[in-house]
Chains A and B, each alone.
Chain A
Amino acid sequence: MKDTDIKKLLYAHLLCIFSIILSVLIPPLFLENFSILETHLTWLCICSGVVTAVNLVLYLVVKPNTSSKRSSLSHKVTRVLKCCIYFLMSCFIFHVIFVLYGAPLIELVLETFLFAVILSTFTTVPCLCLLGPRLKAWLRVFSRNGVTSIWENSLQITTISSLVGAWLGAFPIPLDWERPWQVWPISCTLGATFGYVAGLLISPLWIYWNRKQLSYKNN
């Protein structure tokens, strides 16, 4: 049971990584002058779209939380709407946090907001897929000893690692190397992306190594 679950998790994560790689490789075939650094905003949009799509597909195909009850159509619609609102909220909250961290208030608003969008894509979208729009469940997952399945465990790891990646991505900004990727918010978005990919890779391995020690309450 557990090993097959871990395998499923690994495949799902590999698919996510593959989608990110594709978002870098495919657009140059259609768009002229596409490069991650120069047309960074385009890449951000494409990447966040692709990752969201893959997450949704995975959610529909894999259906990790089997306990979901059957529900009416209207219930489903409100659920989807709620998810959208949550996603937008998280984008705005991230935006506010970036400004609080010192991002310029008026200039570069679009850049800052797209960074918020991509970070939400890496963190909020998987949460919404897996846990649904329930804040209590989110708080439970992100507190110590609160996870109840390997899916939640991997969600915890990827989310934290993308946040930490974005956090670490801010470090090179003050350095005087004058590289194109030091411009706000490129280093942070790249940091978040690398953090997300690292989290995707690490979480199945970590769960695999610790599968003896892990005992989930609901399993």
Chain B
Amino acid sequence: MRLGSGTFAACCVVIEVLGIAVFLRGFFPVPVRSSAGAEHRTEPPAPEPSAGSSSNWTKLPPPLFSKVVIVLIDALRDDFLFGSKGVKFMPYTTYLVEKGASHSFVAEAKPPTVTMPRIKALTTGSLPGFVDVVRNLNSPTLLEDNVIRQAKAAGKRMIFYGDETWVKLFPKHFVEYDGTTSFFVSDYTEVDNNVTRHLDKVLKREDWDMLILHYLGLDHIGHISGPSSPLIGHKLSEMDNILMKIHTSLLSQEREGLSPSLLVLCGDHGMSDTGSHGASSTGEVNTPLILISSAFERKPGDIRHPKRVQQTDLAATLAIGLSVPIPKDSVGSLIVPVIEGRPMRDQMRFLHLNTVQLSKLLQENVPSYEKDPGFEQFKVSEKLHGNWIKLYLEESHSEVLFNLGTKVLRQYLDALKTLSLALSTQVAQYDVYSMMVGTAVVLEVLTLLLLSIPQALRRQAKVDIPLSSPAFSLLFYLMFLVLSAIHIIVCTSAESSCYFCGLLWPVAGGVMVLMSALLCAIVSVLTKMFISKSLPSKNPAHPNSRWSELDLLIVFGTVGHVLSLGASSFVEEEHQTWYFLVNTLCLALSQELYRNCFLEDDGEPQHHFHMEPGIVDATPGLPYRTGCDVWEQDTVRERLSLSDMLRGREKWMALASPWLILACCRLLRSLNQTGVQWAHRPDFGHWLTRGIIEARFVYVFVLGILFTGTKDLLKSQVIATDFKIKTVGLWEIHSGLVLLAALLFRPHNLPVLAFSLLIQTVLTKFIWKPLRHDAAEITVMHYWFGQAFFYFQGNSNNIATVDISAGFVGLDTYVEIPAMFLTAFGTYAGPVLWASHLVHFLSSVSSDSALSHACFCYALICSIPVSTYIILVTSLRYHLFIWSVFSPKLLYEGMHLLITAAICVFFTAMDQASLTNS
């Protein structure tokens, strides 16, 4: 089967996207879930264990606290409370922590440190999967079992004021609520006043059992001006006053004869030293957790070293405190100091309930749970517990009882710790089989792409894909059989859940057909190459084609970038790699330009030696040794010396152009400091609000321009008239995209766009047109610049830098599809704009196969990093930074590949148009 190389590349990338999708599904583990699912089926609580004698305490123990108030302060970092800031700005809280009846802890939040997963962790006690971040904005109802639902089922009346994420997560759970939105980040006063204004009224009433307050102001201040801003102090003292108000009101109610109430002060996540959050630096992960209740003993605690607990522990503790069942998916363990004041039998009962819940979760998620040390400890402690109950009921000697009781408690605590740990690590189980399948598909496609380089870049730009030769079909069936056998063996013997096995048979079969077909194609291409190599070479045209410095740079740059992805620091600082490469590229270009310029008008005879890309050397270096004779012949024919092309002032402008570009790049890189190590360097302020109506006005224009562009393209395809219309159409589409980007970018990022246009113009006018690089080189250069601009925009390989506000331009409320599209475009505007410029440029420089060469190169250069990266990630899956550094990058790579696929399809469409024209 013969295909145009553009079409071939587009198909390959689409298949690759499928492979990556399967890989991602296997790589991002499904969170530990109880198989009982979302049903409201409430199981009776586990009865108290007893050895022989009957203890019929099967109900849940009575609640410890009559009322619970949770004050959640977004982005409250532990040193805001326990550090010098706390002493200075939060005197009341510090007093409570040091001398009051309270327990203080540092609760460790697991990355991603973003609000919604953290709320989920606090209420369900489970560790939300990484993919939950992506759904952060579009928070659907929380389906998993959680404390709020259990409390509602137990008839508790709950009131909520604060971040509306809660209202979305728990619709109809609160008897009274008022949500505040977190999207006006520059507002840090009203957003909190809107919560506090209800407080006085609510605290006087007594018709509620649970009050949740979620304050967003601190997080907004962090986003605007970072953790060392003076605004933080004001906000902290405001929070301190609120806490004092609540606490005194609770105390006065208790004096009226109610049982003790609980006041919880916590943060959902911290904030990094730049004020953002999402990753796993110490500042982001450590949040304070303070439990205040008159039920606790007053004891002077050491404020400097609060004990460390997990954030997930709060759910279990709250459930016990409110006497509701512990959420089924919770992996947290009860915070023991809370129950220390209770009688020993109660303490044991609470711990027993928690261990039973954890061991049930373990049974459902680990096939060989019986061998798990935590489970064994649980069995032992349950037996001991039974013995203790028997003794207790027989009312034996109190000292023996006490000693045995302490032993049982210790045993339970050990079991809890082991079980909780085992379940938390269970989240990090990888579905290796799906990962392997995905990797295999991606690698096969990449090999095929690499092998077809010589064919694809030839004059006709056609690729021969042997899909129907007989030998190939035999191999095909054999491969298919082998793969099916492997599939059956793996799936029947699999212990843990496997996504690929869970697929329908036809789908899995289809993937296997695809895999074996690809493999056979590779084999036949290889044999063909081997045969043609053993034959005497028919075209000795390229034996002396040497690689120019530029080609060397391109190859080494690509390889170096791909290899650098193996180190977490290089992933964090990937923008540095791209800036470095782009700068080097500019210098190489300037070197080439200078040499051409100065040595050609030298007029000395020796210029025949060194004028490498000139007239004499008919086959200048090409990135891929073979092929490319089309472009060359075109260029050789038209290639006049540079000094003929550009005269006088123009020449000097051409000579200055690389330096202009370098200066622009330097300016742009200090516009947005991204990454980690140098992120503290100052950059311009951002987060301005923008108008909705104006935005819609611009949308109309963008659509108009894109429409006329498409119309021109279609016209050029249908009427097949002159070449001009198509170029004009492409230019219109490019301008439409530029306008859209201008609308979506943050205001201070508009220089990025302006400079991008400037650099494109300068490169086109002074470098690419005079120097006549071939399509492959130009493609790679466009790709590099596109990547550099991706980072110039302020993006990084960290989820936190995605500018979600782009998704809200011109929208009143959150609408999923346009918001997703706009955010994706806003984020990848750099690469997309450079790609559209590439299409426009190549089609304006008339050459038949340039577009399909470019498409092929683009597909290749994008798929090399992706395929290498998934192998690297697979081998580094137990790396310390896998969740904080490598996984976000993996998501970025997947998304980038998807965009590449779209671009390649566009390329192919353009190519088809030009084919029908000719």
Interface string of A111-142 (1 = CB under 8 A from B): 00000000000000000000000011001101
Say whether, besides A139-B599, A140-B610, A175-B570, A170 and B663 are in contact (CB < 8 Å). Answer: no
* B482 at interface, CB cutoff 8 A: no
Q: Which residue of A139, A144, A170 contacts B598 across the interface (Cβ within 8 Å)?
A: A139
Q: Bound complex: CA of A136 vs CA of B587, how far in Å? A: 19
Q: Bound complex: CA of A24 vs CA of B568, how far in Å? A: 34
Name the CB-closest residue of A to B576: A174
Say whether, besides A144-B612, A175-B570, A99 and B594 are in contact (CB < 8 Å). Answer: no
Say whether, besides A139-B594, A144-B612, A170 and B599 are in contact (CB < 8 Å). Answer: no
Q: Bound complex: CA of A11 vs CA of B308, how far in Å? A: 66
Contact B587 A140 (CB under 8 A): no
Inter-chain contacts of A175 with B (CB < 8 A) = 567, 569-570
Q: Which residue of A97, A170, A176 contacts B677 across the interface (Cβ within 8 Å)?
A: A176
- Per the 8 Å Cβ criterion, residues 65-95 of A in contact with B are none
* A180 at interface, CB cutoff 8 A: no
* B893 at interface, CB cutoff 8 A: no
* A27 at interface, CB cutoff 8 A: no
Say whether, besides A101-B583, A167-B584, A145 and B609 are in contact (CB < 8 Å). Answer: yes
- Per the 8 Å Cβ criterion, residues 172-210 of A in contact with B are 173-176
Q: Bound complex: CA of A170 vs CA of B669, how far in Å? A: 17
Minimal beta-carbon separation of A23 from chain B (angstroms): 29
Contact B677 A143 (CB under 8 A): no
* B404 at interface, CB cutoff 8 A: no
Number of interface residues, chain A, beta carbon within 8 A: 22
Contact A100 B612 (CB under 8 A): no
Contact A102 B576 (CB under 8 A): yes
Contact A170 B610 (CB under 8 A): no
Contact B612 A143 (CB under 8 A): yes
Q: How many A-B residue pairs have CB under 8 A?
A: 60
- Per the 8 Å Cβ criterion, residues 791-842 of B in contact with A are none
* B580 at interface, CB cutoff 8 A: yes
* B602 at interface, CB cutoff 8 A: yes
Say whether, besides A136-B598, A139-B599, A167-B584, A145 and B662 are in contact (CB < 8 Å). Answer: no
* A2 at interface, CB cutoff 8 A: no
Name the CB-closest residue of A to B881: A176
Q: Bound complex: CA of A143 vs CA of B612, how far in Å? A: 8
* B198 at interface, CB cutoff 8 A: no
* B579 at interface, CB cutoff 8 A: yes
Minimal beta-carbon separation of A104 from chain B (angstroms): 8
* B680 at interface, CB cutoff 8 A: no
Contact A99 B666 (CB under 8 A): yes
Say whether, besides A139-B594, A143-B612, A167-B584, A100 and B663 are in contact (CB < 8 Å). Answer: yes
Interface string of A150-185 (1 = CB under 8 A from B): 000000000000000001001101111000000000
* B163 at interface, CB cutoff 8 A: no
Minimal beta-carbon separation of B588 from chain A (angstroms): 11
Contact A102 B579 (CB under 8 A): yes
Say whether, besides A102-B579, A167-B584, A145 and B570 are in contact (CB < 8 Å). Answer: no
Name the CB-closest residue of B to A146: B610
Inter-chain contacts of A136 with B (CB < 8 A) = 598, 602
Say whether, besides A174-B573, A176-B569, A146 and B609 are in contact (CB < 8 Å). Answer: yes
Inter-chain contacts of A100 with B (CB < 8 A) = 583, 662-663, 665-666
Minimal beta-carbon separation of A208 from chain B (angstroms): 23
27 residue pairs A–B, Cβ–Cβ below 8 Å: A97-B662, A99-B666, A100-B663, A101-B583, A102-B579, A102-B583, A102-B666, A135-B598, A136-B598, A136-B602, A139-B594, A139-B598, A140-B599, A140-B610, A142-B595, A143-B595, A144-B609, A145-B612, A170-B580, A174-B570, A174-B576, A175-B569, A175-B570, A176-B569, A176-B677, A217-B606, A217-B609
Which residue numbers of A lie inside 8 Å of B, CB to CB? 97, 99-102, 135-136, 139-140, 142-146, 167, 170-171, 173-176, 217
